Amino acid sequence: MNEKNIMDYETVALDDERDALVIIDQTLLPGRTELISLHTAQEIWDAIYLLKVRGAPAIGVAAAFGIYLLAKQTDTQEYEVFYEAFRKQKEYLNSARPTAVNLSWALNRMEQVCVRSRELPVEQIKEKLRAEAVHMKEEDIQVCKAIGEHGLTLVKPGDGILTHCNAGQLATCKYGTATAPIYLGQERGYRFSVFADETRPLLQGARLTAYELQASGVDVTLICDNMSATVMRNGWINAVFVGCDRVAANGDTANKIGTSVVAAVAKRYHVPVYICAPTSTIDMDTPAGADITIEQRPAHEVTDMWYEKPTAPEGVKVFNPAFDVTDHDLIAGIVTEYGIAREPYTESLREIFRIKESKQAALKTRA
Ligand code: MRU
């Protein structure tokens, strides 16, 4: 049997022939690898809400392909009618998940394409939307790679690294964010030992991170969420690398529920916590963590979703926030594609965006 490696699949892809957004249904992993084709607004919204495609950057790229496909279906030559339909679809897709800023970031970027091209025939606007979505996917790969290069400067061969949730290839278009230094290090013979938190309640660490790292030949050990203190106290962890769904202007970071617990424990054991953050996930319009909307998810994810029998009494009250905020003073550095931001984040993150703008301006001048 010649089973394809999970790393050989594209997390998010555009199928032009079938006018479809193609994703790996991540809810079935690691047991089954199934690609699904999405065509309608409802299918795309459901896939994002149900975490068939998940992870902030992957959600952004999926939304960009999605809105392009929906715009393509709009049958009109009139810009105003086209734009009105686009805005409605955009609002709908944007309502699927509130915390990952990449969703609105990607949709806003697509809307800007419409607005900038309003003098063009609708058919040409559609082509521009396609080009922008394809570009966003390529950009995501480059961004993750750059995060990996910067992240790799923070660790040394043989280090123990702990990660939480899945900020891996399955959460992006390639490399992942938190896993990018791990994959680049693996290519260069660093021999890290990685500890993956299982990440209750949806088990992204067990089902996805442990799976993709193992498939890549990385030395990975799966632990329950309540074991991170033990491995840190044992001296097995030199650094924590995690992803994020929204970084506020002061460095407070929303990521998968449980990240703040890991960060508090890491502080106790003097282990640095690094947030791997594409600039698309940094929201300078959100001043602090308290301003971030935290997604609340249904009770059944906690009580019975992954178990043959329910693990809680029927009807019990459940609190199920999908994300938490790690206070900026628990974070040793925010690793972006343009370098590593350190305290005070209000200034260093602004500097990262200054670097971004000047690099982008230089690229435009050269083009
Ligand atoms: O609910 P999920 O699985 O979408 O949550 C994902 C995370 O919290 C990731 O750490 C984050 O999106 C960064 S992915 C590079």
Mean pLDDT of 127-152: 98
- Mean pLDDT in the chain? 97
Position 33 pLDDT exceeds 70? yes
Position 152 pLDDT exceeds 60? yes
> What's the pLDDT tens digit per position in 273-329?
999 999 999 999 999 999 999 999 999 999 999 888 988 999 999 999 999 999 999
> What's the pLDDT tens digit per position in 242-287?
999 999 999 999 999 999 999 999 999 999 999 999 999 999 999 9
In a 3-state reduction of DSSP, which class is residue 14? strand
**Residue 79 C-alpha to ligand 1 middle, in angstroms?**
36
Atom from ligand 1 closest to the CA of residue 208: 3
**What is the pTM for the complete model shown?**
0.97
Mean pLDDT of 149-175: 98
Pairwise pLDDT comparison (365 vs 195), residue with the higher score: 195
Between the two ends of the chain, the Cα-to-Cα distance in Å is 48
* pLDDT at res. 306: 87
State the DSSP H helix or E strand holding residue 123, giving kind and residue range, or none if neither. Answer: helix 122-152
In a 3-state reduction of DSSP, which class is residue 272? coil
* pLDDT at res. 229: 98
Atom from ligand 1 closest to the CA of residue 276: 15
**Residue 120 C-alpha to ligand 1 middle, in angstroms?**
37
Among protein residues, the one whose CA lies closest to atom 10 of ligand 1:
243
Among protein residues, the one whose CA lies closest to atom 6 of ligand 1:
55
**Residue 1 C-alpha to ligand 1 middle, in angstroms?**
33
> What's the pLDDT tens digit per position in 104-138?
999 999 999 999 999 999 999 999 999 999 999 99
Q: Are 253 and 282 in contact (CB under 8 A)?
A: no
State the DSSP H helix or E strand holding residue 240, giving kind and residue range, or none if neither. Answer: strand 239-242
Atom from ligand 1 closest to the CA of residue 204: 3
Domains of the chain: 6-144 (1.20.120.420), 148-366 (3.40.50.10470)
**Residue 214 C-alpha to ligand 1 middle, in angstroms?**
19
Look up tokens 């734009």; give the residue: 83
Q: Are 193 and 161 in contact (CB under 8 A)?
A: yes
How is residue 26 written in tokens?
Answer: 């991540």
Which of 245, 259, 281, 293 for mutating ligand 1's site (highest number of atoms within 8 Å of CB)?
Answer: 245
Q: Which residues are catalytic?
A: 245
* DSSP 8-state secondary structure symbol assigned to residue 74: -
Name residues contacting ligand 1 (CB within 6 A): 51, 54-57, 100, 165, 167, 171-172, 176-177, 204, 243-245, 255-256, 322
* pLDDT at res. 3: 76
Burial 155-177 (b: 16+ CB within 10 A, else e): beeebbbbbbbbbbbbbbbbbbb
* pLDDT at res. 1: 47
Among protein residues, the one whose CA lies closest to atom 15 of ligand 1:
167
Residue 151 makes CB contacts below 8 A (sequence gap 6+) with: 180, 181, 184, 241, 274, 276, 335
Distance in angstroms (rounded) separating the CA atoms of residues 26 and 48: 11
**Residue 136 C-alpha to ligand 1 middle, in angstroms?**
18
Mode of pairing for the β-strands spanning 12-15 and 20-24: antiparallel
Distance in angstroms (rounded) separating the CA atoms of residues 2 and 269: 44
What single string gives the DSSP state of each residue in 167-218?
-SGGGSSSS-STTHHHHHHHHTT---EEEEE--TTTTHIIIIIHHHHHHTT-
State the DSSP H helix or E strand holding residue 37, giving kind and residue range, or none if neither. Answer: strand 35-38
State the DSSP H helix or E strand holding residue 122, giving kind and residue range, or none if neither. Answer: helix 122-152
Residue 258 makes CB contacts below 8 A (sequence gap 6+) with: 164, 165, 197, 199, 200, 225, 324
Mean pLDDT of 50-64: 98
Distance in angstroms (rounded) separating the CA atoms of residues 170 and 212: 8
In a 3-state reduction of DSSP, which class is residue 279? helix
Q: Peptide bond before 201: cis, by omega within 30 degrees of 0?
A: yes
Selection from 164, 154, 146, 300 nearest residue 242 by Cα: 164
Q: Are 8 and 17 in contact (CB under 8 A)?
A: no
Atom from ligand 1 closest to the CA of residue 172: 15
**Residue 278 C-alpha to ligand 1 middle, in angstroms?**
13
Atom from ligand 1 closest to the CA of residue 178: 15
Among protein residues, the one whose CA lies closest to atom 8 of ligand 1:
256
